[in-house]
């Protein structure tokens, strides 16, 4: 048994948590979420591209199943979930996300609408021309390689990127306590900026922004805060306001159409959500001016059409949509990337300077590689040329040697012992041989066909070219100016290949405002006894016969810009905009009033135009027999719902009756109350005191324990009969009594 007491390591829990979390954070930052400032790739992206070049998936080769690519990447370099690897692969195919896609996909890789890619077993891929600018020259030893996770393979620490991929394609990543969000830029503009920075290392930001005026999103759109871009490029952090590109066209039937042809980059990959958002703004009547929304996008491009109702201001509606929808959005930029295994926030110039420094390192290593290769070849060529002049002696050496080793020793060091010569002259020449080992190997491997005169001429020409190349390489390696010249030449070749017209326009901030257009019309609000409510226009109401309207217990004529006041049995008053009530036909079912007002299990009792309430008084009668009058001005409030009265515990409102000023002042009005036991009481309206809405009221009728008020009516007392609770009450057999007394037996006809 091991001695546990001596092998146990005791550590403070807090310190262990701190250390472990720090290690985890660093791993996420460096090995997962943030790109390297040199090649602009996150580890998973770099490993996918390297696995593809190892599989030989160059742009001129056939596509290969993505499942194979993901499998190689996961098995050799990235021991994480296959879904994260495939997601990274899919992202590198998206031409609406990247200025230069790095992978050429074949199959369903999703769309700008938000459709997801097909499973990896169905899709195929190969490298794009853009990816080759990052992967070429790997065999030249320009970058360092590290062991993979199980040390069975080698993988590049960084790709030898000769294109400023980080600025051109941008990136996004969320680490621990930090995040990066670098927008894509125009390839031609970025290359111009790099060249300008190489030609003038002291270039100012203003001068640099003449080359790179701002981001250039693949989805186009318009950047609306050009005045804030300088701060972003100076500090490496800021916000970019981008809006959709729109046009206003003439539509059918005299309507105008707002046509969206480019969407903000922030909704790229979520276009369907944008369309659904616009449709919901129409259905929820946030914008009453919208007649219809439809998506007419195709392979030719984006086309989302918003039809505007007749005689409405399309420009004003567009301003409102920019404020209320994602047609205008904010892109939060942060130029965060990894340098020397540490995260840094870069300015625009700082990022370009890092790329230039990386190019100087790459091209220096490349020309050192080429110089070394040329010198080695020159050594061989010079040896072959020398060998041709003494080829007869070399043949004698080969024929007179017992082994290749003996012949090689003679060629390198002139050792002739044991070698059989035909002539002493050949022996003397052979003893003077001093070929290098590389030359000796080339001579021994030389074919006899190389002795043809034309081949000898080629060797001389090759020697001349190699000497010229060596002088050229040495010149480049000795001069930074010459090195920059070579870098610029290559960048200009890339510019010719990848440059395109700017897609995203840049403009200075402009203030826009939306004015709600009020189109006032007369409507009728119809509601049945179940609470289903709808609005109909005047023409529809007038065409309907009285028979068709009998089912509606609520019929209110009101203006379209007015509101309804809705009292509930629970003592609350709700406000409801008429514009929020769906318009329909007489035969339509309508929408429950509880749904429209968002009531929580309350029962609507009485409804009237909200503006008419302030000129009236209201008679409140509770089921418990309490009664009061309240001035309508008490209900003037901006809140959607208020308490309309105070109720005793367990009590509810039985009825609410609006009273005009003439009815209150006449002194002749009567109040008749009917109870659940068919008892009735009639008394003068003057007996009911006026109270605040917070008052409970006074006793209107004395009730027994299990008796409640079921109906109430206000009348002038001149008629012999009164319609109450659906029945005709005989008033001749009743007489006016004092408020607060029990009722008498009601007589119905």
Query: What three-state secondary structure class fits 342?
Result: strand
Average pLDDT over residues 70-77: 95
Q: How far apart are CA 155 and CA 150, in angstroms?
A: 12
Query: What three-state secondary structure class fits 228?
Result: helix
Ramachandran assignment for 170, one of left (phi > 0), alpha (psi -120 to 50 degrees), beta (any other): left
Q: How far apart are CA 278 and CA 292, in angstroms?
A: 10
Q: What is the CATH number of domain 616-749?
A: 2.120.10.90
pLDDT bracket for residue 25 (50, 70, 90): low
- Is 270 exposed, middle or buried (CB count within 10 Å of its CB: 0-12, 13-18, 19+)? middle
**Is the pLDDT at 26 greater than 70, yes or no?**
no
**Is the pLDDT at 163 greater than 90, yes or no?**
yes
Query: What three-state secondary structure class fits 208?
Result: helix
* Candidates 3.30.1360.40, 3.10.20.600, 2.30.31.10, 1.10.3720.10; CATH matching 245-326: 3.30.1360.40
CB 164 within 8 A of CB 355: yes
Instruction: CATH 2.120.10.90 in the chain: give the residue spans.
Output: 616-749
**Is the pLDDT at 7 greater than 60, yes or no?**
yes
Q: How far apart are CA 196 and CA 206, in angstroms?
A: 12
Determine the pLDDT at residue 24. Answer: 65
pLDDT bracket for residue 133 (50, 70, 90): very high
**Is the pLDDT at 354 greater than 90, yes or no?**
yes
**Is the pLDDT at 285 greater than 80, yes or no?**
no
Residue 572 CA from chain centroid, whole number: 43
pLDDT bracket for residue 258 (50, 70, 90): very high
Q: How far apart are CA 18 and CA 547, in angstroms?
A: 79
Instruction: CATH 3.30.1360.40 in the chain: give the residue spans.
Output: 245-326
pLDDT bracket for residue 393 (50, 70, 90): confident
Whole-angstrom Cα Rg for the chain: 44
Q: What percent of the chain has pLDDT over 90?
A: 55
Residues listed for the chain: 749
Residue of 96, 122, 233, 541 marked active site:
122
Global pTM value: 0.69
**Is the pLDDT at 507 greater than 70, yes or no?**
yes
605-657 pLDDT, tens digit per residue, is 999 998 888 888 999 999 999 999 999 888 888 788 899 999 998 899 999 99
* Candidates 3.50.50.60, 1.10.268.10, 3.40.50.20, 3.40.50.280; CATH matching 357-498: 1.10.268.10
Average pLDDT over residues 204-232: 94
Q: How far apart are CA 587 and CA 247, in angstroms?
A: 39
pLDDT bracket for residue 408 (50, 70, 90): confident
Average pLDDT over residues 478-490: 94
The question of whether 122 is a catalytic residue gets the answer yes
What tokens does 639 get?
Answer: 């809140």
Instruction: CATH 3.90.199.10 in the chain: give the residue spans.
Output: 41-160
Parallel, antiparallel, or unpaired for β 505-506 and 222-223? Answer: parallel
Q: How far apart are CA 641 and CA 710, in angstroms?
A: 26
Q: Outline where 390-508 has alpha helix (H).
A: 391-400, 404-413, 424-431, 437-445, 453-478, 480-498
Determine the pLDDT at residue 141. Answer: 86
The edge-to-edge listing of strands for the beta sheet with 698-699 is 653-659, 617-622, 626-631, 698-699
**Is the pLDDT at 255 greater than 60, yes or no?**
yes
Helix (H) or strand (E) holding 255: none
Note the CATH architecture for domain 41-160.
Alpha-Beta Complex (3.90)
Q: How far apart are CA 590 and CA 533, in angstroms?
A: 5
Average pLDDT over residues 322-340: 92
Q: How many CB atoms lie within 10 A of CB 385?
A: 14
């Amino acid at each position: 048994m091991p001695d546990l007491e001596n092998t146990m390591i005791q550590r403070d829990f807090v310190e262990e948590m701190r250390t472990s979390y720090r290690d985890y954070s660093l791993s996420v930052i460096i090995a997962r979420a943030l790109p390297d400032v040199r090649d602009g790739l996150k580890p998973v992206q770099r490993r996918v591209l390297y696995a593809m070049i190892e599989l030989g998936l160059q742009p001129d080769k056939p596509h290969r199943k993505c499942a194979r690519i993901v499998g190689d990447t996961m098995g050799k370099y990235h021991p994480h979930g296959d879904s994260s690897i495939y997601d990274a692969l899919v992202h590198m195919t998206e031409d609406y996300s990247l200025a230069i896609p790095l992978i050429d996909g074949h199959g369903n890789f999703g769309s700008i609408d938000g459709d997801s890619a097909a499973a990896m077993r169905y899709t195929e891929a190969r490298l794009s021309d853009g990816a080759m600018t990052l992967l070429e020259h790997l065999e030249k030893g320009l970058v360092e390689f590290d062991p993979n996770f199980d040390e069975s393979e080698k993988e590049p620490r960084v790709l030898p990127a000769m294109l400023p991929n980080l600025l051109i394609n941008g990136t996004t990543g969320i680490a621990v306590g930090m995040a990066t969000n670098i927008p894509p830029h125009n390839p031609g503009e970025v290359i111009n900026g790099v060249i300008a920075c190489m030609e003038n290392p002291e270039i100012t930001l203003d001068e640099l922004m003449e080359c790179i005026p701002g981001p250039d999103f693949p989805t186009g759109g318009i950047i609306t805060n050009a005045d804030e871009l300088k701060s972003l490029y100076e500090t490496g952090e800021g916000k970019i306001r981008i809006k959709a590109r729109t046009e206003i066209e003439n539509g059918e039937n005299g309507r105008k159409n707002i046509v969206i042809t480019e969407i903000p980059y922030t909704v790229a990959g979520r276009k369907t959500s944008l369309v659904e958002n616009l449709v919901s703004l129409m259905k929820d009547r946030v914008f009453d001016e919208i007649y219809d929304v439809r998506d007419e996008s195709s392979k030719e491009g984006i086309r989302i059409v918003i039809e505007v109702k007749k005689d409405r201001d399309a420009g004003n509606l567009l301003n409102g949509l920019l404020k209320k929808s994602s047609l205008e959005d904010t892109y939060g930029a942060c130029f965060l990337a990894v340098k020397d295994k540490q995260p840094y926030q870069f300015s625009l110039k700082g990022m370009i300077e890092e790329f230039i420094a990386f190019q100087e390192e790459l091209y220096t290593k490349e020309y050192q590689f080429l110089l070394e290769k040329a010198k080695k070849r020159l050594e061989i060529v010079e040896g072959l040329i020398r060998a041709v002049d003494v080829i007869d002696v070399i043949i004698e050496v080969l024929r007179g040697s017992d082994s290749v080793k003996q012949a090689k020793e003679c060629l390198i060091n002139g050792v002739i012992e044991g070698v059989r010569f035909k002539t002493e002259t050949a022996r003397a020449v052979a003893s003077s041989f001093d070929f290098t080992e590389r030359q000796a190997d080339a001579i021994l491997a030389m074919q006899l066909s190389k002795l043809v005169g034309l081949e000898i001429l080629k060797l001389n020409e090759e020697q001349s070219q190699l000497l010229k190349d060596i002088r050229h390489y040495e010149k480049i390696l000795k001069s930074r100016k010459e090195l920059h010249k070579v870098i610029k030449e290559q960048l200009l070749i890339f510019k010719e290949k990848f440059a395109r017209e700017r897609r995203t326009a840049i403009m200075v901030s402009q203030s826009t405002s939306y004015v709600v257009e009020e189109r006032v019309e007369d409507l009728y609000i119809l509601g049945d006894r179940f609470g289903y409510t709808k609005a109909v226009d005047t023409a529809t109401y007038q065409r309907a016969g009285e028979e068709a309207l009998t089912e509606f217990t609520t019929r209110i004529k009101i203006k379209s810009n007015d509101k309804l006041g809705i009292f509930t049995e629970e003592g609350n008053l709700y406000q409801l905009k008429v514009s929020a009530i769906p318009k329909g036909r007489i035969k339509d079912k309508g929408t429950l009033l509880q749904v429209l007002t968002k009531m929580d299990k309350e029962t609507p009792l009485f409804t009237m135009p909200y503006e008419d309430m302030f000129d009236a008084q209201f008679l409140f009668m509770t089921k418990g027999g309490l009664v009061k009058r309240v001035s309508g001005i008490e209900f003037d409030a901006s809140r959607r719902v208020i308490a309309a009265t105070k109720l005793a515990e367990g009590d509810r409102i039985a009825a609410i009756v609006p009273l005009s000023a003439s009815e209150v002042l006449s002194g002749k009005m009567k109040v008749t109350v009917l109870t659940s036991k068919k008892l009735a009481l009639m008394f003068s309206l003057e007996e009911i005191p006026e109270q605040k809405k917070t008052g409970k009221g006074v006793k209107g009728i004395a009730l027994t324990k299990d008796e409640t008020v079921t109906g109430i009516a206000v009348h002038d007392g001149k008629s012999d009969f009164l319609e109450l609770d659906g029945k005709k009450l005989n008033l001749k057999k009743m007489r006016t009594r004092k408020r607060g007394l029990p009722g008498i037996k009601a007589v119905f006809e």
